Amino acid sequence: MEERLKELETLALQQVSEAQDLKQLNEVRVAYLGKKGPITEILRGMGQLSAEERPKMGALANVVREAIAGKIEEKQAELEKAAVAAKLASETIDVTLPGRPTPTGSQHPLTKVVEEIEDLFLGMGYTIAEGPEVEKDYYNFEALNLPKDHPARDMQDSFYITDEILLRTHTSPVQARTMEKNEAKGPIKIICPGKVYRRDDDDATHSHQFTQIEGLVIDENISMSDLKGTLEVFAKKMFGDEREIRLRPSFFPFTEPSVEVDVSCAKCGGKGCNVCKQTGWIEILGAGMVHPRVLEMAGYDSKKYQGFAFGMGPERIAMLRYGIDDIRHFYTNDQRFVKQFNRV
C-alpha cells in the first residue's frame, strides 16, 4: 500500500506539472483527489488493515493527498498568472498604428458667406432681425410704398398664396416690421438675413428661391455718405482692400434716392474682362435713403429721422468671391462642389 501511495504521488505530481491550462489541472484534481479517486479509495479500505498499520498508512495517505493538493494549488496560481499575462499581451494597443480617418462635414459656401457678412455687421454694432417667409402683402409691398396697382411690383414677380398673403420676394418687409414694432420710434441698426422667393426662371444667375441680406440704419442726421462709407467697408472686407465701389442712380419705391452698387472687378482690376462683361464693374446690391413715406407709414417723424437701407444677394457675392459660374450649384448639394470649400 505504501508503494502504491508513493507511485500515485509520483504520477499525480508529474501530471500536475504537465497540465497546460486550468481545465487540465482540474481533471488531474478530480482524477486523484475526487470522491472516486484512488487515494479516497485507499482511505476507504483502511478498515481491512491491522491496527498497527492503520495509523501509519492513514498518516501517509494524508501526507500524499496534501502534497498533491499543495502542488495543484501552486500550479493553479502559476497558470492563472500566465492566463492574465497572455490576455494582457493579446490586448496590447499599438499606439504607433495610424488612426482611422473620420469623415467630416464641411460648411456650405453660402452659409460661410452669410455668416461672414453677419459677423462684419455685428462688429459694426448692428443686430440681427428676422421676419416670416410667408408674408403679408402689406409688409412686402404696401408698407414699402408699393400700393396694390404700383407698376414696380412687376420688378418682383411673386408667389401668392391668397390675395393678401405671399412668399416674401425680398427681405425688405423686415424693415417695415422692425420700424413698426419700435415703440420709441428711435434709432435702428439691423441686418436681416433670410430666404426669399420670386417667380424667376432658374438659370445660371437666377433662382426662384434665393437668399438676401437687408441692412437698415435709422437715426438723426444720417446721410448718403454714411451709406457709402458702410458699403465701402463691406466691399473691401468681402473682396479685398484694393476694391472700390461706385454708386449708380437706380429706382426702388422704398428708397429715395436709390442706387445700385458696383464693386470694381477683382479679376481684371477694373480694366474690363469676361467676368465684368468688359465694364470693369460688377453689381452687388441695391440701396438708398429710406423714403420719407416709408418712415411715416411706420409712425416715424421723417423730419427728425432719416435712414439708409441696402439689400444684397449672398449667392451672387459668393459666386464672385469663389468664381462659381452657376447659382444652381448652391442648391443641388453635390458633394464634389461642397467639399471644395473645406479649406477656404
Alpha-carbon torsion, ordered 179, 185, 190, 195, to 10 deg: -10
Q: Which stretch in 77-85, 182-190, 279-287, 331-339 sits in contact with ligand FA5 by CB under 6 A? A: 279-287
122 φψ region: left (φ > 0), alpha (ψ -120 to 50), beta (else): alpha
Judge contact between 171 and 131, C-beta under 8 A. Answer: yes
Distance CA 86, CA 102 (A): 32
Judge contact between 32 and 39, C-beta under 8 A. Answer: yes
Q: Which stretch in 48-56, 80-88, 186-194, 282-290 sits in contact with ligand FA5 by CB under 6 A? A: 282-290
- Name the residue type at position 78: E
Residues in the chain: 344
Q: Which of 172, 178, 264, 306 is in the footprint of ligand FA5 by CB under 6 A?
A: 172
In whole angstroms, how close is the CB of 240 to ligand FA5 at the nearest point?
Answer: 19
Residue 109 interacts with ligand FA5 (CB under 6 A): yes or no: no
Q: Which of residues 284-313 bind ligand FA5 (CB under 6 A)?
A: 285-288, 309-313
In whole angstroms, how close is the CB of 261 to ligand FA5 at the nearest point?
Answer: 9
Q: Considering beta carbons, is residue 5 or 295 the nearer one to ligand FA5?
A: 295
Q: Considering beta carbons, is residue 37 or 131 the nearer one to ligand FA5?
A: 131
Q: DSSP letters along 166-231, please?
A: EE-SSSTHHHHHHHHH-TT---EEEEEEEEEE--PPP-SS--SEEEEEEEEEEETT--HHHHHHHH
Residue 170 interacts with ligand FA5 (CB under 6 A): yes or no: yes
In whole angstroms, how close is the CB of 201 to ligand FA5 at the nearest point?
Answer: 9
Judge contact between 117 and 235, C-beta under 8 A. Answer: no
Q: Which of residues 208-227 bind ligand FA5 (CB under 6 A)?
A: 210, 212, 214
Q: Which of 197, 252, 300, 330 is in the footprint of ligand FA5 by CB under 6 A?
A: 252
Chain residues in the site for ligand FA5 (CB under 6 A): 156, 170, 172, 198, 200, 206-207, 210, 212, 214, 252, 255, 285-288, 309-313, 315-316, 327
